[in-house]
């Protein structure tokens, strides 16, 4: 099958193990364009935005927790401290998340950015990777009509600082540890950390975690998967850090799970003909940089061994500042965030597009210059209609913001009571419900249009 036909087939095929996969990014109807200006522009109603934000009460609890445009409503589900369906208490620090359609229900696989490591620490589940680590994932089953909780449970446990991750074509969530902690005299951990783990989205019980060591041991943030090649792209929250790709020995595709534990090759992005290219400042929106890859000899450094990033930088790899959220757009491009890069240290949105087996184009898609427009974007989502959702983790109020294809930013949601981090934006498979988290308050939200309003009224 030709490459273009294969991509088209994969974009329209989403059946695996009886579960229709929630590959929201693969449903993007419009290909995003590079932005050449407008970094201070603001999208009003009719130009991408949905109108001013007003305090609103949740449909199911009556609590006024969000400010949203008037045409939208919401429920609050999966709250920190609530008793789950498996009898365990819902952990806190809600972070990255993805939505999947499983037998007509919505499964949200949700990260918890908790650490543990104290003598009294206990894992949130019964089959932990490390019994003293308190991070992991929970799965929240949601009724697609009422947007209310049906069942929830611990789906992976015993990990540290599960920050972001990425959904896969084979129907799972790759959850990532944002740490490089190891057992030491000042903690009670029993295992090294800094790995990626694969959590099936269609299960109804906890999965035994397997550290995917060949994918690298570093401060992971997010991953994207190219459904045509099975290559996995990874971001690193470090300064300087890198943008990586993992080429599995046994890759996975739609309906075909990989064997990621069987190893592969880890590589770090390098700008062609530029040694240790510094992307952190003085970049031009829209400029195309040709890239290649350098191979990491030791993807699982322990003890005094050289870190993954330093190995790559020594070979000339490009340097990034605190890479975080990432999303595949369904049209061949992978978008990812530098949360504090740029001349104003307000963040950068990058776009990487493979052009061949070992080549590609890196492009700065957007860089804010005004904190009132956008500050410290973290989790990232490409929507079914081709816009971007950006979750803020900055110093003031943290908004869920939209970014139009024309470079216009707008507010979509903000917590009514707290300035805590926004995270985990993901759309349901049908493109009608936007889910996201507020981390510090420990809540997951489902947001959808009221009668007479449509997502098509704006950019999301």
Q: One digit per residue, pLDDT tens: the chain, 460 residues?
A: 333 233 332 333 333 333 333 333 333 333 333 333 333 346 777 678 999 999 999 999 999 999 999 999 999 999 999 999 999 999 999 999 999 999 999 999 999 999 999 999 999 999 999 999 999 999 999 999 999 999 999 999 999 999 999 999 999 999 999 999 999 999 999 999 999 999 999 999 999 999 999 999 999 999 999 999 999 999 999 999 999 999 999 999 998 999 999 999 999 999 999 999 999 999 999 999 999 999 999 999 999 999 999 999 999 999 999 999 999 999 999 999 999 999 999 999 999 999 999 999 999 999 999 999 999 999 999 999 999 999 999 998 999 999 998 888 999 999 999 999 999 999 999 999 999 999 999 999 999 999 999 999 999 9
Place of tokens 């695996």: 16
Comparing C-alpha atoms, which of 136, 156, 142, 75 is closest to residue 102? Answer: 142
Q: What does the pLDDT read at residue 48?
A: 86
Q: Cβ–Cβ contacts within 10 Å for residue 34, how many?
A: 16
CA distance 68 to 81: 25
Q: What does the pLDDT read at residue 405?
A: 82
Place of tokens 């309906």: 255
CA distance 351 to 361: 8
Q: What does the pLDDT read at residue 42?
A: 61
CA distance 153 to 156: 9
CA distance 371 to 8: 39
Angle at 159 between CA 189 and CA 76, to 5 degrees: 135
CATH number at residue 450: 2.120.10.30
Residue range of the domain that includes 16:
3-457
Cβ distance 34 to 407 under 8 Å? no
Cβ distance 66 to 445 under 8 Å? yes
Angle at 56 between CA 55 and CA 60, to 5 degrees: 155
Q: How many domains does the chain have?
A: 1
Question: Whole-prediction pTM value?
Answer: 0.92
Q: Which residues, 6 or more positions from 434, have their beta carbon under 8 angstroms from its beta carbon?
A: 389, 425, 426, 427, 428, 446, 447, 448, 460
């Amino acid at each position: 099958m030709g490459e273009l036909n294969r991509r088209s087939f994969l974009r329209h095929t989403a059946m695996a193990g009886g579960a229709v996969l929630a590959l929201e990014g693969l449903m993007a109807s419009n290909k995003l364009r590079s932005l050449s200006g407008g970094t201070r522009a603001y999208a009003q109603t009719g130009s991408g935005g949905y109108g001013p934000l007003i305090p609103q009460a949740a449909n199911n609890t009556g609590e006024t927790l969000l400010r949203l445009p008037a045409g939208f409503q919401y429920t609050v589900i999966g709250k920190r401290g609530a008793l789950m369906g498996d009898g365990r208490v819902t952990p806190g620090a809600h972070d990255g998340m993805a939505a999947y359609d499983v037998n007509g229900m919505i499964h949200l696989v949700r990260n918890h950015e908790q650490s543990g490591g104290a003598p009294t620490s206990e894992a949130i589940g019964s089959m932990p990777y490390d019994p003293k680590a308190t991070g992991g994932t929970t799965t929240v089953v949601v009724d697609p009509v009422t947007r209310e909780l049906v069942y929830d449970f611990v789906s992976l446990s015993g990990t540290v600082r599960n920050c972001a991750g990425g959904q896969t074509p084979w129907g799972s969530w790759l959850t990532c540890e944002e740490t490089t902690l190891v057992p030491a005299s000042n903690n009670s951990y029993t295992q090294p950390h800094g790995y990626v783990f694969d959590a099936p989205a269609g299960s109804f019980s906890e999965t035994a975690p397997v550290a995917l060591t060949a994918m690298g041991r570093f401060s992971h943030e997010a991953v994207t998967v190219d459904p045509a090649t099975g290559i996995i792209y990874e971001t690193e929250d470090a300064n300087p850090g890198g943008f990586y790709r993992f080429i599995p020995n046994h890759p996975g595709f739609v309906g075909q799970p990989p064997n990621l534990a069987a190893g592969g090759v880890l590589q770090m992005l390098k700008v062609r003909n530029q040694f240790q290219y510094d992307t952190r400042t003085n970049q031009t929106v829209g400029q195309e940089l040709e890239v290649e890859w350098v191979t990491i000899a030791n993807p699982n450094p322990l003890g005094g061994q050289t870190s993954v990033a330093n190995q790559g930088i020594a070979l000339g790899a490009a340097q990034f500042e605190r890479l975080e959220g990432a999303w595949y757009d369904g049209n061949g491009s992978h978008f990812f965030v530098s949360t504090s890069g740029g001349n104003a240290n307000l963040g950068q949105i990058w776009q990487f597009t493979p052009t061949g087996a070992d080549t590609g184009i890196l492009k700065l898609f957007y860089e804010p210059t005004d904190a009132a427009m956008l500050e410290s974007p973290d989790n990232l989502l490409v929507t079914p209609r081709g816009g971007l959702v950006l979750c803020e983790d900055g110093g003031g109020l943290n908004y869920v913001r939209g970014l139009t294809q024309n470079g216009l930013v707008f507010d979509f949601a903000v917590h009514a009571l707290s300035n805590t981090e926004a995270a985990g934006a993901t759309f349901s498979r049908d493109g009608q419900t936007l889910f996201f988290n507020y981390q510090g308050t420990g809540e997951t939200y489902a947001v959808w249009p009221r009668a007479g309003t449509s997502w098509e009224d704006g950019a999301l």
